[in-house]
Structures are given as C-alpha cells and as structure tokens.
Structure 1
C-alpha cells in the first residue's frame, strides 16, 4: 500500500493552501471518468463513483459513504430511510443515525460518558470538503477539528473494473504527545445479514464480549480462526471484539467483504480485541449490523493511517450456500494477504 500512502501524504502537504480549503469541487459529468455529482435521496451534494459494475456514493454534508453495491442492485450499506436528505443534527440536538460508513475517534470513552450517545460534531456533523483526484478517486477532509486539533482525511477509490473499493483514512494532528491515546475508528453499517463471517486473528478461538448481552459464534472453521455469527432473533444490542483483520456480511446472495490492510504493522500494535469489532443493533425501530475497524492507539500523533479494502461477490440462488460463502471469504482474505501490490495495481498510481 506504499504507493497509495505516499500519494495521500503528498496531497496533505497542501493542507494550508487555498486549493485544499476550497469547498466541494464543482464537478461536471465530462470532467473525470467514473465520477458525477448527483442528488442522492435528497442530498444534492453527493458524489457517485462508478466503473460499470459497482457504484459508491459519498455525501459530503453528512460525511458518509451512503451507498456501495452493484449497479441496479441492493445497497450493501444500511440507510435510515427516515433521515433521507436531512442535514446533520444541530448543536444541542440528538445524534442522527443516517447509516452508511463513517469515521470517528477511538476509543469511544474519549467522548461517550455511557449515558448520552453524541459522537463528536467535528467529524460527524460539520461536513467534509471534496477534492477530485482522478478517475473514480476522491480526497475528503473534515471541516471540523476534533478537540480543536485533530482532522480526518479519507481517500475513497473505486477500481477500474470489478467490485473492489478502497477507503484510506488519516488522522492529522500536531506532532506532540496527547494525554489519552487516540486512534481512528471506521464504522460500516450494513442491512440485517443472513450471517457474519469474521476472522479471529492469530490467537485463534478468542473473542471478547463488548456488550452486556452475550453474542457467541454459531460455527467455527479453520482451527477456530474463522467464526460465523448469526443475527440474534430477540430484541437486543450485542457486540464482539476480535484480533482479526477481515469480516464479511452475507446479504441475501451477496458477500460484502472488508479487510484492513496495514502491511507494516503486526497484531501486537493493537490493544487486544480492538482491531476488528462486529455489532448488532436490534432494538426497535432499528435493525442493522456493523463491521468496525480501528487503527492502533497512539500518544504521538503526527499522522495515523488506516486502510480498508472492500469487495463484493454474488452467488446463484436465493439461499446462500454457507460453505461456498466461507470458501470465498478465505479466498479473498488470502489474495489480499499474499499481495498488497495487487491492491496498488487495481487502483493505479497518480505519480
């Protein structure tokens, strides 16, 4: 991933320039291949990335990727239809759960007191600028500064063909020590899955319950390295933390695969059971699941990076074949593990 990292860092050298401070790019349909400005569900500022097979929609005003899926197919990201087209919550208002994919600071204890769930407005409710970098590639920046000094930058890219997407996030802050360690936290909300497939990590067979109600895997494969979690049948809220770096939601006959790619880091760089988390929200009227990743916690900030690669696989038939899905999960996981260069080649270089 070094090519992508260096290209993202080169864009950050312009942080203080007028070009970077500008509002969203006034894109015309003829400007760049595979990117267009659209009205998405009432949000008039949306950017649609497409390669003829899949599409991805980013909405700057709410700072979220709100759609990822096959063209004319179902959205693999959950959306709260009650909030379509609405702005973020104002100061003093309750948090608005739009759905989609977003980035927050980790650990949650930095901003959540256990009573009032109100994610930091600086990244969640103050909007993002957008810079079009090239074909099917955006660079987005938070307008707000978390704790007055931390911004988040995200590079969002779609491969020229196939289903692969890349989301690289960067925490930008002063190169000084912070009192409490800080990390990046990506949260992808997905519709109610048939089941979730998750990687346990090197310490096979281990996971941590992160909510009061337990959530245990229904099956384990590969020497307990891969778990299957079923959607709960009762009204509950459950969460599990793992040491792995890959997870998939099975949505009908589609496998939505995500993998965190940090080739220069090892499992010991994360706090135990933080790197990968899966969550189920089943308290009416909300029903969805989440795939979450964190970067390692740091005290010396400067720049902290986290990259996730997304893929889709569709299968024949209305009822998913579990063995076939798990085999495809392992295949995708192995392909990315074996060659991060392949990811670079899929997206190309801007150098």
Structure 2
C-alpha cells in the first residue's frame, strides 16, 4: 500500500508561506521567499542542510552588495567564470537565481518553484521537488528555459549546503577522466583528502576554503546520526564546465561550518524556447559512529 505524501503550509524560521513535503519517514522544507529547499531530514531527526540562523526570516534584497548566504539547496548558472562577462558583476551571484522570491506551484503533491526571467541570461528556472512515497528519498529536477535574448551557453548548477560533516565522500569511477580521480579547483587541496578503492574522502578545514571537481555521479555527506547520498548520473562524452566536472565539493572555513555538494549538467547553447535540466536524487540513511567505513561502502554500494 502506497504511503500518503502530505503538503502543508508553514511559517519556517520567520518565512511565511513556506511548505513541508512529508511522507511517514522524511520531510523536505521549501521556502519560496528565498527560492531554496531549506531542509531535508528524517521525521524528528537531525538537520542535514546548513542554515544561517543569523538571517532567519530575512527577505532577500537584490540591490544589496552584501551576499546573504541563507543555506539550503539552490541553483545557479554555470560556469561561474562567465558571470562577470554576462552580468557585469563577478560576485554576488546573479540575483534572479539567488536573491529574489520565487513562485510556488503545487500539483499532485509535487511542488515546483518558478523564478522570474533573469535579465542577463534571459532564462527562467523551474525546480520540481518530489518525495518517493515509501522511501527516504527526495528528487529535485531543475530546468532552465531560455525565454528572452540571444542564444546562451549555460549549465544547470545545483548547490547543496550541508552541516559540518564527520566526512564527505565521492564514488570515483574506475575509468575516471582525471588521472588523480579529481581536479583541484582551489590553491590547496581539502583536508585529509584521500582515495581508497575508488572512494574519495575528505574533511572540512576550519581555517581555509577548498574545492575539487570530479566525474563522480554519487556524492555522500555523513553527519553524526544521518548520511545523505546524492546521485546525478554523468552523461557519457558530454562537455561539462569547470575542467569537465559534473560534480564538485566545496568546504567552507569557520565560523560558517558547512560544506557544499554540487552537481552540474552538460553545457548547452540554449536558443529561444529551448530547455536544459538536471535531476538530483537525495537519499537519507541512518548511521552510527561505529564501523563508519563499512557503512559508507554499503551506502555507496561498493
């Protein structure tokens, strides 16, 4: 018998008109006011997504030069290296993707967030959030639609900010396109980076930010009691941004103790009316502090 998925409106951390999608096992919290999925967790379980409690309830200001890092899960256009050429600003991120409210649309217990048209990219994004009825699984399909202006090469980029991990992992393909199994995207490599039998692991450095890219289709965050596996299959022979990376891991320094697990779609030159999308599947697991490596290999299926 299929479990019922429920959708309820709530005030989440001061943001009115937020939504909770839930089944009997897990819940996802969506905040249209800031265009983010702010939480994914077991019912009554620990938070997995990082949130900045200092700006709870704040409404984004697209004119601000200060960047409000709300946390949660969001989408930006990639590659980031082209932002300045397209928007005339290298930072903060393009406002339509990062700091304006979006419109929620509810249909058959699926919630879709719909953005305005970005004035620089001429793109509108859609993020469809669904839960599997009988499992601790959420799927988010992010679609970019070209609705204005000249053709534009772009990739869908999803960024999930997660709390301080015990460790972060990536399942490196046996025939990785990268000789070391990853490509270095920051001055120094992340803390405790190693690869053992096809599994890359690393920790957060409290003093410096680090980033790597990879051709892994599966990333894994492990917390104190919960793990979240994220899957988005790489498309063979496609061309990806950031030195051909379809997945990336970023670790932030103190005091904002978070990591980012990121996926990218292949690059595509969008003509008017064309779309490109990226689906990421998020699966929750309960973990213990004992035999962590054994649990990790089981979760990653290796």
TM normalised by structure 2 equals 0.89
Give the number of the structure whose residues are more often strand, by fraction: 2
**Given that residues 191 and 202 in structure 2 are in contact (C-alpha distance below 8 angstroms), is that contact kept between their aligned partners in structure 1?**
yes
Tell me, yes or no, if structure 1 residue 295 matches structure 2 residue 287.
no
SS of 2:298's partner is: helix
Tell me if structure 1 keeps the 8 A contact 2:73–2:160: yes
1:349 is matched with none
- Going from structure 1 to structure 2, the CA distance change for 1:112 and 1:320 (only over 3 Å counts) comes to farther
Work out the CA distance in 2 between the residues paired with 1:175 and 1:121. Answer: 17
User: Alignment partner of 1:196: what SS?
Assistant: strand
Kept in 2, the 8 Å contact 1:112–1:118? The answer is no
The answer as to whether partners of 1:46 and 1:59 remain within 8 angstroms in 2 is yes
Within 1, Cα distance between the matches of 2:267 and 2:42? 35
Secondary structure of the corresponding residue to residue 236 of structure 1: coil
Residues 192 and 287 in structure 1, CA contact (< 8 A), matched pair in contact too = yes
SS in 1 for 2:252: strand
Q: Provide Cα deviations, 1:79-122, integer angstroms capped at 9, x if missing partner.
A: 00001111112413411000000000000122258996211111
Q: 1:40 to 1:175 in 2, by over 3 A?
A: closer
Q: Which residue of 2 aligns with 1:278?
A: 249
TM superposition shift of 1:329: 2.8
Moved more, 185-194 or 211-220: 211-220
User: Compared with structure 1, are the counterparts of its residues 241 and 329 closer, same or farther at alpha carbon in structure 2 (3 Å cutoff)?
Assistant: same
Aligned-residue Cα RMSD (Å) equals: 2.3
Tell me how far apart the structure 2 counterparts of residues 320 and 177 of structure 1 sit (CA, whole Å): 55
1:244 corresponding residue in structure 2: 216
- The question of 1:75 aligning with 2:42 is answered no
1:120 aligns with 2:94: yes
CA distance in 2 between counterparts of 1:92 and 1:219 reads 40
CA distance in 2, matches of 1:124, 1:73: 28
Residue pair 1:123, 1:144 contacting (<8 A) in 2 also = no
Partner of residue 99, structure 1: 71
> Secondary structure of the equivalent of 2:294?
helix
Q: Which has the higher helix share?
A: 1
Alpha-carbon contact 1:121-1:144 (below 8 Å) kept = no
Q: Could you say which residue in structure 2 is the equivalent of 1:155?
A: 128
Q: Is the CA contact (8 Å cut-off) linking 2:125 and 2:144 kept in structure 1?
A: yes
Runs of 5+ unmatched residues, structure 1:
1-31, 335-351
Indicate if the aligned counterparts of 2:191 and 2:204 stay in contact, CA closer than 8 A.
Answer: no
Gaps spanning 5+ residues in structure 2: where? none
1:129 to 103, 109, 123: 103
Say which SS state the counterpart of residue 286 (structure 1) adopts: coil
Paired residues of 2:211 and 2:250 also in contact (CA < 8 A): yes
How far the C-alpha of 1:320 sits from its partner, in A, is 4.5
Task: Label 1:146 to 1:260 Cα distance change in 2 as closer, same or farther (>3 A).
Answer: farther
Structure 2 vs 1, CA of residues 94 and 72 (structure 1 numbering), >3 Å: closer, same or farther? same
- Residue 170 of structure 1, aligned match among 112, 122, 143: 143
- Structure 1 residues 148 and 196, CA, compared in 2 at 3 Å: closer, same or farther? closer
Cα 1:92–1:298 change in 2 (3 A) is same
Shift of 1:220: 2.1
Would you say 1:208 and 2:179 are equivalent positions? no
